[in-house]
Amino acid sequence: MSGQPVRVALLLALCGSVAGLASRARAQQTPPAQEGEPIIIGEEEVYDPWKLDSFGAALNTEARYRRFRRSTAGQPDQVDTERYLLGRLDLSGRAFIGHENLIDLNGRVGIGWEETDFDSDTAGASQTDSGLTYLYDVSALILRDGPAPVTVYSRREEQRLEREFSGSIDGTTEEHGAMARIQSEDWPTFIHVYRREAEQQDRLGQIDYGLRQDSLNIRTSPELGENQDLMLEYALDLVDEHQSSSFKNSFTRHDAQAVHTVNFGADNQHNLRSTARFYDESGLADLRRYRLDEVLRLKHTEDFDTRWDATAEENTRSDQWQRFVKAQGQARYKLFESVVAIATLGADRLDVAGGFNSTQYFGDAQLEYTKRVPLGRLFASAGAGANRQENSEQGSPLLIADQRVTLTDPQPALINRRNVVDGSLLVTNADGTRIYVEGLDYTVTVFPSHVEIRRVVGGAIAEGETVLVDYTVGPEPANTIDSVSANFGVRYSLEEGALQGLGTFLNYTTVDQSVDAADPSRFILDDSSDLRYGVEYHRVGVTLQAERRHHDSTIFPYDTSRLEARYDTRAGPLASLSAGVTHDISDYPDTGDQLQLTRATIRISGRVGDSLDISGRVIYRDERSRLSSDLAGFEQAIDVAWRKGRTTVTGSLFNGFLDAETTDSLSQTISIGVRRTF
């Protein structure tokens, strides 16, 4: 980094200044007059432009050993080892320059020397790196009590991100910026401008992610009077990112939003919320979007309320223009003390460049019943709905953007779209700021009727994470698809007696579809029925659950059985234990496959006496399949911190392995550190 020598010099100068301030402050502390000495009255006070409020120093040392071994059938083992040594001096303090209200300076700075020895069979090389390392977090609050206080800051931090069974990722983040708060009764405004540079990588080079971002954020909330609120936001981001050696992306992002809320009616029981947003992003995403949302809530009586939603959106992505409008109304009426009726009715329309359009009409009704019964509570619901989708002929490929899917093991995430173009999928995080890599982070299987997405264990996508998916659908003839659905559910929970906390449940949903098209055989409809039932128990930190699910579908049928046991407890504010185990069995009749997934986790943390903190975790995963490779992982980690006076000793141990059919890996880390404060 070209600016690194300059920043190092500035940090050294800052450390010297802070140390000098400490010495000066101690020297300026005039001792009280001794008995018999004259007391001088009327001496002119000397103006001191520096005032040191607090100062601290600490010496840190750390030693770390990491080893990664990969074994592949028919090939020699590949072993990578790393030995790391660090010595660093940390200085921290708070000072006032000129006056407490003029500049309030806070900061901590760490400067040291690190050395790394790395031997890699994967890279076929050995090397030793050494040099200056530095961390800092410095901020200056200017005119704290003024009409527009400004905070100028600069920070550099290091992180270690732990991945299940695959060792850690080293991360570094630098951010430099300024924040201003305009203290105005009519236009309170917050302005933030900054540059952020982030890197994440592992020693094998599989993870090599970099980000550089220059941003401007402005937020204001002008005063509109009683019962009204207005919030205006604008963000400008200039972003360069890369991942591994195969992916690079540079883009500019504009994001502007206005949110207006008004309460009206007697006692302000009604509410209208309006949101307007403009979003523009260049680069691989290449998206421009205008969106308007209106949400009106009306409370007509204590037993009757309605909600009205309207959405209009226009966006252009990859030279494809789309317009979407939607209107929906929902009424909720309390028929009796224990019965509530809910009805929804709405329509939407999608228009796409090239003449394609899709119009949808939908409606449903639901009854919910809640009643106190002997020893507990009974909840039941029943409902039905209808949907009609009228699609014109689609002569050219259609881009679908930002569809949210959640990747939860063991089932794959499904995209129920026909004719998805293979290779067109783009997966990002929920904010759209990071693009995941196929093969490293997730896998995709495209079928004529749907798409299956699975996360890669040990990749960058966490279990249960929600991601955004873009994909392209190929040409299709005009068609009309009608869907009719029905659902029923019941739950009985015991709230008294010896079996308090025990509950049983059953849920059933069915969907029937039909198509009207020139050639109906080109369409694969998803007629489905889903039956889920089971028993669960919650009592004093213990959760037990057993459930069975039958999902009959023309596209993706499966049967699952799930057993779960979990225990959570706290022994005061400084100790906790969490343990859980799940066992899932999934049968797929179309392929004859059966997947068995067993997961177990134990996490513990606590304090022993007044000086020892301990935390640890054990994670186990066993995945077995009839048709694909088995997978097993086992991870153990423990962290300790022991304090004695001004000295703190820390240690950590990590051991994790991941075994597949043809490849297995072992990752180990041992580290110890000593910190001494002065």
Spans in the chain with pLDDT lower than 50 = 1-30, 32-33, 36
Q: Is the peptide bond before 397 cis (omega within 30 degrees of 0)?
A: no
Structure confidence at residue 504 (pLDDT): 97
- Domain for residue 419, yes or no? yes
How many domains are contained in the chain? 1
382 within a domain of the structure (yes/no): no
Predicted structure pTM score = 0.77
| pLDDT given at position 167 | 57
Contacts of 544 by beta carbon, 8 Å cutoff, 6+ apart = 536, 537, 564, 565, 566
Which H or E run contains 9? helix 4-28
Of the candidates 511, 512, 501, 560, the residue with the CA atom closest to the CA atom of residue 532: 560
Residues contacting 358, CB < 8 A, separation 6+: 349, 350, 389, 390, 391, 392
Range of the domain at 416: 398-473
pLDDT at 18: 45
C-beta neighbour count of 519 within 10 angstroms: 9
Q: Does some domain include residue 407?
A: yes
Q: Could you give the CA distance from residue 312 to residue 33 in angstroms, rounded to a whole number?
A: 78
Q: Are 293 and 274 in contact (CB under 8 A)?
A: yes
Question: What pLDDT score does 210 carry?
Answer: 83
Q: Which position has the token pair 């800051």?
A: 153
Q: How far is CA 224 from the centre of its chain?
A: 34
* 406: in domain: yes
Pick from 379, 380, 417: nearest CA to 398:
417
From CA 297, how far away is CA 330, in angstroms rounded?
Answer: 10
Kindly state the tokens that stand for 159. Answer: 């992180």
**β strands within 49-77, DSSP E:** 50-72
Q: How many CB atoms lie within 10 A of CB 569?
A: 12
Distance CA 632, CA 625 (A): 12
User: Can you tell me the distance from the alpha carbon of 75 to that of 390, in angstroms, rounded to the nearest whole number?
Assistant: 56
What distance in Å separates the CA atoms of residue 275 and residue 291, rounded to the nearest whole number? 8
Q: Does 452 map to a domain? A: yes
Report if residue 439 sits inside a domain. Answer: yes
Burial 64-100 (b: 16+ CB within 10 A, else e): bebbbbbeeeeeeebebbbebebebebbbbebbeeee
Q: What is the DSSP string of 362-419?
A: EEEEEEEEEEEETTEEEEEEEEEEEEEEEE--B-S-EEEEEEEEEE-SSSPEEE--SS
Alpha carbon dihedral 7, 10, 15, 21, in 10-degree steps, equals: -150
Q: What is the pLDDT of residues 308-353, one digit of tens each?
A: 999 999 998 877 888 999 999 999 999 988 999 999 999 999 998 8
DSSP class of residue 661 equals S
* Beta strands at 528-539 and 542-553: parallel, antiparallel or unpaired: antiparallel
466 found inside a domain:
yes
The four Cα atoms 564, 570, 573, 575 give a dihedral, to 10 degrees, of -90
Burial of 258 (0-12, 13-18, 19+ CB in 10 A): middle
Rounded alpha-carbon distances, angstroms, from residue 257 to 230, 377, 470: 11, 44, 23
Query: Measuring CA to CA, which residue among 11, 99, 7, 93 is closest to residue 50?
Result: 99
Nearest-CA neighbor of 88 among 130, 116, 60? 60
C-alpha torsion angle, residues 217, 223, 224, 229 (rounded to 10): 60
What is the pLDDT at residue 4? Answer: 46
Q: Which residues pair with 294 in a beta bridge?
A: 274, 310
Give residue 61's pLDDT. 95
Tell me: the pLDDT tens digits for 58-116?
999 999 998 988 888 888 888 889 899 999 999 999 999 988 889 999 999 999 999 98
SS (H, E, C) 332-369: EEECCCCEEEEEEEEEEEEEECCCEEEEEEEEEEEEEE
In a domain, 660, yes or no: no
Residue 43: CB atoms within 10 A of its CB come to 6
